[in-house]
């Protein structure tokens, strides 16, 4: 299966020429298939706006599908390195795949910009993580406005329901920490698979626990399932969602029942409702303009924003690296890594990026504000 996945997904002039010696080669490994395909394909759409030339050097984008599978991601990276000597890796999509490719990336001394959200991928910056950057916010960044609102609203009992994978596990940890700090009791912690078609059993346990609020730690269309079944079972308390709920068919599936849900809002999705003095408003609106012109009104999303911003970082960093080395060499990869690490004040679709030797996260708490779904629109809460 792995061989067929890799064969099927060679695109974007991959290996079309015998040598890219003078070009900048960017490897892109995303989930075009598998459980995370909706996210991966949105990220792939975001790469459509990358520069075609930097400093007189042609930029080649070489894409492989990791099929939402960590083993496939490692195989894809080894193929890209051996056959194209890529200078930078964008991706993978999923957290497990991103962790898996760190080892070969370090082996090749290859800078990578992961699109996965878990901060353990980039922190603390050590001999291995010095090669890894990301363009996503941390779970703590997402949780902060949610738990601040819970505390302000008088929530004393909270139930959590989330994906039964590393995404949900990360939210279990951050929710336990944030709930304790806000003097909120976590009365239930239920899990479900991204492919489940019902969560009635988990919902009945939550309703029986009597929470003041429920936090759904999920993304896209699967995030709608707990909300709909909570309402179906008569739950009338406040519902919160994570950033991933702003993606995909969540709004369509929940319709009016989704109105009133609180969630962390990124400028990549709701820039129009942000204050005019927000530092990344202009850059986020430009991303939305470009993206929706190509992919349709309302198509903007955080995942496309992550890959769009990753290539913006390349556009800013590559000219610095080209001053000291030629693409395709270890010296260029190290220079590119160092240049990304030096970037500050880069306004993108998801916020303003500030990296440093001890910070490869880039974004901070300012990249997210409290949002609310109102009449089908993601809106910043003023």
The rounded Cα 322 to chain-centroid distance in angstroms is: 28
Return the higher-pLDDT residue of 378 and 316: 316
- C-alpha 2, offset from chain centre: 24
Instruction: Specify whether the CB–CB gap between 248 and 301 falls below 8 A.
Output: yes
pLDDT tens-digit map of 169-225: 989 999 999 999 999 999 999 999 988 999 999 999 999 999 999 999 998 889 999
Which of these, 111, 129, 150, lies nearest to 321 by C-alpha position?
A: 111
Distances in Å between the Cα of 184 and the Cα atoms of 9, 96, 174, 177, 235 are 47, 30, 13, 10, 19
Residue 176, pLDDT score: 97
**Look-up: residue for tokens 């990026």?**
353
Same domain, yes or no: 256 and 176: yes
Answer whether residue 271 is part of any domain: no
Read off the pLDDT of residues 238-249 as tens digits, 9 standing for 90 and up: 999 999 889 888
Is 291 part of any domain? no
pLDDT of residue 9 exceeding 60, the answer is: no
Structure tokens at 118: 């878990």
In a domain, 58, yes or no: yes
Q: Tell me the pLDDT band of 118, cut-offs 50, 70 and 90.
A: confident
| Cα distances (Å, whole numbers) of residue 379 to 109, 235, 267 | 42, 24, 10
CATH number, domain containing residue 331: 3.40.50.2300
Rg over CA atoms, the chain:
21
One domain for residues 131 and 14: yes
Residues 247 and 318 in one domain: no
Beta strands 262-265 and 53-54: pairing type? unpaired
Residue range of the domain that includes 231? 139-265
> Does residue 196 sit in the same domain as residue 214?
yes
Q: Are residues 102 and 15 in the same domain?
A: yes
């Amino acid at each position: 299966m792995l061989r067929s996945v890799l064969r099927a997904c060679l695109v974007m002039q991959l290996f079309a020429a015998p040598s890219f010696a003078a070009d900048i080669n960017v490897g892109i490994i995303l989930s075009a298939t598998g459980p995370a395909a909706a996210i991966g394909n949105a990220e792939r759409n975001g790469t459509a706006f990358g520069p075609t030339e930097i400093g007189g050097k042609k930029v080649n984008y070489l894409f492989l599908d990791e099929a939402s599978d960590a083993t496939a991601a490692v195989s894809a990276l080894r193929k890209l390195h051996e056959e194209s000597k890529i200078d930078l890796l964008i991706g993978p999509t999923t957290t497990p795949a991103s962790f898996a490719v760190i080892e070969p990336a370090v082996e090749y001394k290859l800078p990578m910009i992961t699109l996965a959200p878990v901060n353990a991928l980039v922190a603390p910056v050590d001999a291995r993580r010095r090669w890894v950057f990301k363009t996503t916010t941390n779970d703590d960044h997402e949780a902060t406005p949610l738990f601040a609102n819970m505390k302000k609203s008088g929530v004393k009992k909270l139930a959590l329901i989330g994906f039964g994978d590393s995404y949900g596990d990360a939210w279990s940890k951050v929710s336990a920490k944030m709930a304790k700090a806000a003097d909120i009791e976590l009365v239930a912690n239920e899990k479900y698979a991204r492919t489940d078609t019902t969560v009635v059993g988990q919902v009945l346990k939550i309703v029986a626990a009597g929470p003041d609020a429920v936090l759904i730690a999920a993304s896209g269309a699967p995030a709608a399932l707990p909300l709909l079944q909570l309402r179906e079972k008569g739950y009338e308390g406040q519902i919160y969602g994570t950033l991933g709920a702003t993606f995909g068919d969540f709004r369509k599936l929940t319709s009016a029942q989704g109105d009133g849900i609180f969630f962390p809002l990124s400028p990549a999705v709701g820039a129009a409702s942000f204050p005019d003095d927000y530092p990344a408003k202009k850059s986020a609106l430009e991303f939305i303009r470009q993206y929706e012109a190509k992919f349709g009104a309302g198509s903007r999303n955080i995942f496309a924003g992550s890959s769009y911003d990753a290539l913006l970082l390349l556009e800013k960093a590559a000219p610095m690296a080209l001053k000291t080395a030629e693409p395709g060499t270890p010296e260029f990869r190290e220079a590119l890594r160092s240049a990304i690490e030096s970037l500050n004040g880069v306004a993108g679709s998801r916020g303003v990026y500030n990296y440093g030797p001890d910070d490869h996260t880039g974004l901070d708490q300012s990249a997210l504000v409290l949002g609310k779904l109102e009449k089908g629109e993601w809106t910043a809460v003023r």
